[in-house]
Structure 1
Amino acid sequence: MPKKKVILKAQIPDNEKTDALMSPCLYINPDVEFKDIPTTGEEYLLKVMKERENYSQVTKCQQDISKFAKNQSCFVAELPRAYVADIFKPTIEWQNIQVADFSDVRMYISRIISKKSQWSNTIRKIEIEQDNLLGWKRFFKMNEPTLSCVLGLPYTLLDRALEILTDIIDDVPPGKTIDYKTGQWIYAFLACTRQPLLSDTTSILRNLARKCAEIRSHINPEQENSREAVAPLNIFICLVSRYFRQYDLAD
């Protein structure tokens, strides 16, 4: 019986021993004859290993790593958590109810979208310049936050709309809360937010939750209707943290 050839050697030659992590664990016996076209898995593996010898051990990344999402920087600085009075902290049971109700809304929207051919002709196509801040504010003021209105916007503008709304609530005076209509708009756009989340979308959602927490921190627990004032803020913080899984922002 002919002696079986040794194709792979696990031992590294003395002159090639190194502590580098890139050191290969298998070497090809120089006596092995390669076929132009592999016919077995073993021959294919040998061909790949042989071709790998023609490339350098370190490959330089050609991508420009300086390009990040437009609302994040190379070194993302996490803002400190805003103070929240114990009386304003929602219970986990309350948060679970909000998430469950929100999930039902999103499922309803998904069913509607799946039947787009039945209602697409009744939706008014809305065109608005992405960076026209006054145009967006006029849009939110002149229109009702209905599902038909939100679905009339192109997908590319959904994130931008939520970003504009987040900037709008930044003007809420200390001690005040989000007005009812703005809260409805925010909820509507959250309900239509696409998943899996893009990096830009995640950044917008996190910014929304932080600003809601900041607004809540300025509300006096002893003022009249303070619990009603923090309710929409708690809802948005809850949805961003619990539903969209930004758990580090959860109460």
Structure 2
Amino acid sequence: MASDSDSSDCGLLNQALPTPTLSSNFRPVAAPTSAEEYIQHVVWEARQCKAVVTVDLEEHKLNKPIAVVQKQVKATAPKGFTPSLESQQNLMASFSKLRAHIATLRASGKIPRPPIVLPGIKKREEWCKLCFGNSFQLALLKQSSQDSMQPQLIEGQQPLLSILLNIKQKGIENLLEWHAQWLEVLGFSEAQGRWFYALLACLEKPLTPETCSQIRHIAMMCAKIRASLETADHPHLSQLNVIICIVARYFCQEDLVDH
């Protein structure tokens, strides 16, 4: 709104309500006591606004480099290293059947007792020993080139359903995260391949964003290891392909699918 006495509007605004000319004794700090005085206050405040407002930019902030996060790309497998579409479909059918069996056992409440006492869900070192025996410890000692006498090899536990069904989902998620860390440290092993398969079979949907990111990271690492294999006859290739296929197809990470 504007009054006839306001010459700064250049005729661009039409007057909405008639307003009297502001008197010389108009006090903008005084609270309006009527509708007419309220409109006079609005008109007065509008006149205090500049027609053009500028901002002084701080050039050093404009030139500050911005961090760019690049999306990870799955390592390309050598020719002949990826499974056929038929093999992947058969794997998905078998994996889905196993998950249905696990769901039936959970629903029945008749979960078998584990053959051993299970560690707490936060006991990473104890779970490492359970999964791998002391082979992980021996491998670390070998990496550090320690000349001290090494302990005798103790075998780890197989990923039995009687063990996995007695682990809560938070524990399953913890184990996946720890296995990913162990994979980065010592590389892939057949024992770990079996544990990855079993853990993915017991992982309930829908996934949390953190767990989804974790299994993607696992599949990406498996793809990187696969790309480094020298021959398609390598004993680890089939397990690596299984893990990549399950993450990509069953857990709907389409950009990781082997075509």
TM-score, with normalisation over the residues of structure 1?
0.62
Q: Which has the larger radius of gyration?
A: 2
Moved more, 185-194 or 83-92: 83-92
* Residues 1:106 and 2:120 are matched in the alignment: no
Q: Corresponding residue for 1:79?
A: 72
Which residue of 157, 160, 176 maps to 1:146? 160
Q: Corresponding residue for 1:165?
A: 179
* Residues 1:115 and 2:69 are matched in the alignment: no
Alpha-carbon offset, residue 129 of structure 1: 4.8
Which residue of 216, 233, 237 maps to 2:244? 237
CA contact (8 A) 2:121 2:174 kept: no
Q: 1:15 to 1:196 in 2, by over 3 A?
A: farther
TM-score, with normalisation over the residues of structure 2?
0.60
Q: What 5-or-longer segments of structure 2 have no aligned partner? A: 1-13, 17-66, 133-155
Q: Report runs of 4+ in structure 1 exceeding 6 Å deviation.
A: none
Map residues 1-251 of structure 1 onto 2, 5 A cutoff: 77-116=70-109, 118-119=110-111, 122-123=113-114, 126-130=118-122, 132-141=123-132, 142-172=156-186, 178-221=188-231, 225-226=233-234, 228-251=235-258
Distance 2:15 2:248 in 1: 56
Q: 1:119 to 1:172 in 2, by over 3 A?
A: closer
Distance 1:80 1:15 in 2: 62
Distance 1:81 1:112 in 2: 35
Q: 1:83 to 1:180 in 2, by over 3 A?
A: same
Deviations 1:147-175 (A, max 9, x none): 111112222111110111112222345xx
Alpha-carbon offset, residue 91 of structure 1: 1.2
Q: 1:96 to 1:241 in 2, by over 3 A?
A: same
CA contact (8 A) 1:84 1:217 kept: yes
Deviations 1:188-240 (A, max 9, x none): 10000010111111011101100100111110127xx32x3311001000000
CA contact (8 A) 1:125 1:153 kept: no
Distance 1:210 1:157 in 2: 22
Counterpart of 1:101, as a letter, is: S
Alpha-carbon offset, residue 186 of structure 1: 0.8
CA contact (8 A) 2:173 2:211 kept: yes
| Percent identical residues | 27
**Aligned partner of residue 111 in structure 2, secondary structure:** helix
Q: Corresponding residue for 1:4?
A: none
**Number of residue-to-residue matches in the alignment:** 171
CA contact (8 A) 1:87 1:221 kept: no
CA contact (8 A) 1:129 1:135 kept: no
Q: Corresponding residue for 1:62?
A: none
Distance 1:86 1:247 in 2: 20
Distance 1:129 1:234 in 2: 29
